[in-house]
Amino acid sequence: QVQVVESGGGLVQAGGSLRLSCTTPGLNFDNYGMAWFRQAPGKEREGISCIVHRGGTTLYSDSVKGRFTIWRDNDKNTLYLQMNSLKPEDTAMYYCAAAPYFYCLGSWSSGGVYRHWGQGTQVTVSS
C-alpha cells in the first residue's frame, strides 16, 4: 500500500526558514514525478513546485520562485522543500503529490495528474 507522508511543518517568524520532507513508503519513487501544493483557508489549492521523476528539471510558481527549493533523494524515497524568507502569506497546509513518469509539463500545478497525495503538514508564518 502506497503512503505519502509529509513532515517538517510548524510555526516560524517571517523571514525564517523551514524544510519540509515527504516520504513515500510503498511507492516506486524513481518512477514518479513529485510536487508540492499548498492550500490556505478560504483559498484554492496552489501548485508551488514540481520535480521530474528522475530529478533534474524543477519548476516553481511565481509566488515561491527564488525562495523555495525542491529536490529529491531517490535513494531515500524522499522529497524535500526548503523554504526560506518565509512570509505570512506562505501560511497554509502543504501537501506532497506523486504522478507516475511525470515530466512536470503542462498542467503540473492543477493537481489532476497526481495519483497519490499526502495528508499535509501545516506551515504557519507569523508577522
pLDDT number for residue 59: 96
Phi (first) and psi of residue 90, to 5 degrees? -85, -5
State the average pLDDT for the chain.
95
Span 22-34, average pLDDT: 95
pLDDT at 27 over 80: yes
> Rounded CA gap, 91 and 2, in Å?
28
pLDDT number for residue 52: 94
pLDDT number for residue 55: 73
